[in-house]
């Protein structure tokens, strides 16, 4: 019958925990292929996914998610996989978790600005259009503002990130919202010399009325 792949030691550590915790991704993959239980908890109520996220092991996270690992389980300190990755600014891991099926409760808890921006601003600032799309699909307000009155479009325009700007414009993010200094996204792009972004914003200004008219059969 072979060795028990889910047998835990005195600390609740299974072979899968051990492999992921030590960074042996190939061994972890072999255990998953053998049918190891992906959501078992150790003594600290951590799953293998918690360990992979806290160590920024992107390949292990990808394998565990493909094997059906839950992103909703909290560890002994009430931290989910997203908490562990987001708190350490592990961008690729956060994006993978959001793409898997955004945890709406976690997203809601990260939509108020404590001085560091919201999760939507974080995604825009990191230049991750995929994460922005995941958040918008989960119902996040595209025009959410931070404590300085800036939207995600402000930040993406400031950074000159064409992909994120395009994503937000396609979601009909407001181009006219001003921050606490009265500056719009176009101010940010122009002030930084972001010519391509400024061009996108100017084109969107022309195209938006046409898109609305087209949607309502007026053209």
Residues 48 and 86 in one domain: yes
Which of 70, 101, 132 is at the close of a domain? 101
Kindly report, residue by residue over 174-205, the tens digit of the pLDDT. Answer: 999 999 999 999 999 999 999 999 999 999 86
Range of the domain at 44: 1-101
Which of 83, 101, 119 is at the close of a domain? 101
Q: What is the mean pLDDT of the chain?
A: 89
Q: Which residues contact 163 (CB under 8 A, 6 or more apart)?
A: 127, 129
Residues 112 and 217 in one domain: yes
Report how far apart the first and last C-alpha atoms of the chain are (Å, whole number): 70
Residues 94 and 115 in one domain: no
Total domains, the chain? 2
Q: With pLDDT > 70 as the criterion, what percentage of the chain qualifies?
A: 90
Residues 106 and 208 in one domain: yes
Residues 22 and 41 in one domain: yes
pLDDT above 60 for 23: yes
- Look-up of token digits 């808890």: 109
Which of 101, 132, 149 is at the close of a domain? 101
CA 29 to chain centre: 24
Residues 133 and 172 in one domain: yes
């Amino acid at each position: 019958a072979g060795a028990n792949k889910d047998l835990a030691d005195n600390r609740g550590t299974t072979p899968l925990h051990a492999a992921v915790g030590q960074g042996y991704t190939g061994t972890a993959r072999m255990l998953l292929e053998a049918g190891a239980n992906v959501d078992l908890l150790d003594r600290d109520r951590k799953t293998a996914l918690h360990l992979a996220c806290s160590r920024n092991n992107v390949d292990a996270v990808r394998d565990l998610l493909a094997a059906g690992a839950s992103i909703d389980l909290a560890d002994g300190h009430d931290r989910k996989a997203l908490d562990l990755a987001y708190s350490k600014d592990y961008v690729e891991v956060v994006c993978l978790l959001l793409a898997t099926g955004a945890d709406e409760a976690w997203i809601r808890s990260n939509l108020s600005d404590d001085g560091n921006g919201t999760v939507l601003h974080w995604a825009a600032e990191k230049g991750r259009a995929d994460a922005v799309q995941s958040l918008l699909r989960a119902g996040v307000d595209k025009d959410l503002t931070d404590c300085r009155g800036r939207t995600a479009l402000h930040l993406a325009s400031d950074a000159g990130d064409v992909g994120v700007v395009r994503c937000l414009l396609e979601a009909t993010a407001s181009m006219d919202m001003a921050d606490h200094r009265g500056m719009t996204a176009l101010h940010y792009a122009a002030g930084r010399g972001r010519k391509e972004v400024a061009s996108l914003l100017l084109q969107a200004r022309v195209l938006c009325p046409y898109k609305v008219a087209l949607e309502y059969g007026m053209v």
